[in-house]
Structure 1
């Protein structure tokens, strides 16, 4: 029987999301990939510094034990295979048991998400993220200059999600965009008992709940819904989660307040939102990624 990733939480991640390759990327962006390869090869023995999503990956991998391997992290990178050696060397340096990767030398690697059956894809390339979302894979564009995760919760993976167009569909957001806040509030109050359709990140939240229930003595997951909704529109969001039989540990209904400072207090290892303004606010305090889905992103240039 061949090796299978069935039953595992599979996280696919680009090298720049996992490690800080911003200095090297400046050379890559100049269009001289040979110079970039030589630079990475010259730094082969120098571990790259942790990147924005490093804490998330490190903590998720801590769910693996000698008895059960529940999480698989795979590198999907536009790097070339030579530069990929440094990625694997850096992972080994930090004790990250990452064994698999695809390095495509400038081409989009998102198509390899299908055979991986990935639960999450993190990349700094917006076009790759859009392609992944179109293929039904939860995906977010990592902001490389986001603040890094706090070290205050070493035994807890903390993940925060926006609601509409992330955990939920953009159905309600479309009402808000077309008719304004009052119509949105009335629509959600009228439909409070009707669950919202699933958004792109519902499968990830469900997979995280399964991982949490499987459990490990030294690591747990804590989730938060952080949304611009306020009462009375809060009820439909809560009832939708109940209908899905999915729990979150915290819910913040902020009524349009900036999310950044609330996220600073929650201290997530990662935050997902569909609005770039919220991501920019959050990125000053916590690791953050843009979910390029829903009506808010329908006219955003790639």
Structure 2
């Protein structure tokens, strides 16, 4: 029988999102990929430092302890195969059981998401993220200089999500952008009992919710949104309709999200608006979901 990843949460991640290759990337960005490959080859036995999404990946892979395959992490990278050797060696150094990888040497790797059955793609490359989202895969552009995750919760995975254009569609955000705050509030108040359409990250939240049903797994989720009352009700009722629970909900009414996320201490935060992501990245690992009317 062929190997299958069916039933697992499959996360595809670029090498720069998983490990800190910023120094090497400066050589690559200079346009000399041969020098980049040579540099990586010289450092094959030097473990790369952890990157922004390292804590997220480490905790996700820990869910496979005990022999039950629940999460698969695959490196999906524009790196060349030689650099891929360093990625795998670095993963082994840190005890990350990552066995699969696709390395495309500069070509866009998003087309391999479908055969991998990936439900989430994390990359520092904005074009790749946009292509993944257009193909129907939840994806985020990782901020490579974002803060690293807190070590305060070593045995609990913590993930925070924005609402509109992330968990939900950007239907309501379009009203806000077009007609202003008062119209947005009235639009949402009048539709409080009508579930919002799903956004790109609904399947990810569903997968986490399924994992939470296992008593030996500790996951804490948060909805962190610029919504405030009365627009909060539609968001909560939508989650109720989906039969998905979040552990915390923050309705901030436009307040900067960064300091609230600092207190929640997530392993990762997803938002569509670059301003919110930049506010968050000062304090926590963060990525931008480059989709929807407000994502530019």
* TM-score normalised to structure 1 length: 0.97
Q: Deviations over 1:184-205 (max 9, x none)?
A: 0011000000000000100100
How far, CA to CA, are the matches of 2:212 and 2:69 in structure 1?
A: 14
How far, CA to CA, are the matches of 1:18 and 1:31 in structure 2?
A: 22
Question: How far apart are residue 214 of structure 1 and its match?
Answer: 3.2
Q: Are 2:198 and 1:198 aligned? A: yes
SS at match of 1:214: coil
Task: Give the match for residue 282 of structure 1.
Answer: 280
How far, CA to CA, are the matches of 2:175 and 2:238 in structure 1?
A: 18
Match of 2:248 among 236, 242, 250: 250
Task: Give the match for residue 229 of structure 1.
Answer: 227
Question: How far apart are residue 119 of structure 1 and its match?
Answer: 1.3
**Aligned pairs for 1:133-172 within 5 A:** 133-172=133-172
Task: Give the match for residue 122 of structure 1.
Answer: 122
Match of 1:265 among 260, 263, 267: 263
Question: How far apart are residue 67 of structure 1 and its match?
Answer: 3.1
Question: How far apart are residue 34 of structure 1 and its match?
Answer: 0.7
Cα pair distance change 1:173/1:290, threshold 3 Å: same
With 152-161 and 206-215 compared, the bigger mean Cα shift is at 206-215
Task: Give the match for residue 60 of structure 2.
Answer: 60
Q: Is the 8 A contact 1:269 1:286 kept in 2?
A: yes
How far, CA to CA, are the matches of 2:5 and 2:187 in structure 1?
A: 42
With 44-53 and 59-68 compared, the bigger mean Cα shift is at 59-68
* TM-score normalised to structure 2 length: 0.99
How far, CA to CA, are the matches of 2:141 and 2:203 in structure 1?
A: 18
Question: How far apart are residue 215 of structure 1 and its match?
Answer: 4.4
Q: Deviations over 1:224-274 (max 9, x none)?
A: 000000000000000000000000000000000000000000000000000
How far, CA to CA, are the matches of 1:201 and 1:110 in structure 2?
A: 17
**Aligned pairs for 1:46-57 within 5 A:** 46-57=46-57
Task: Give the match for residue 238 of structure 1.
Answer: 236
How far, CA to CA, are the matches of 1:63 and 1:149 in structure 2?
A: 18
Question: How far apart are residue 120 of structure 1 and its match?
Answer: 0.6
How far, CA to CA, are the matches of 2:206 and 2:179 in structure 1?
A: 32
How far, CA to CA, are the matches of 1:185 and 1:296 in structure 2?
A: 17
Task: Give the match for residue 77 of structure 1.
Answer: 77
Task: Give the match for residue 91 of structure 2.
Answer: 91
SS at match of 2:294: helix
After superposition, the CA RMSD in angstroms is 0.7
How far, CA to CA, are the matches of 1:73 and 1:53 in structure 2?
A: 12
Question: How far apart are residue 279 of structure 1 and its match?
Answer: 0.4
Question: How far apart are residue 296 of structure 1 and its match?
Answer: 1.2
**Aligned pairs for 1:205-224 within 5 A:** 205-216=205-216, 219-224=217-222
Report how many aligned residue pairs link the two structures. 296
Runs of 4 or more consecutive aligned structure 1 residues displaced over 4 Å after TM superposition: none
Q: Are 2:175 and 1:175 aligned? A: yes
How far, CA to CA, are the matches of 1:236 and 1:122 in structure 2?
A: 29
Q: Deviations over 1:88-129 (max 9, x none)?
A: 000000000000000000001011000111111000000000
- 5+ residue gaps, structure 2, are none
SS at match of 1:251: strand
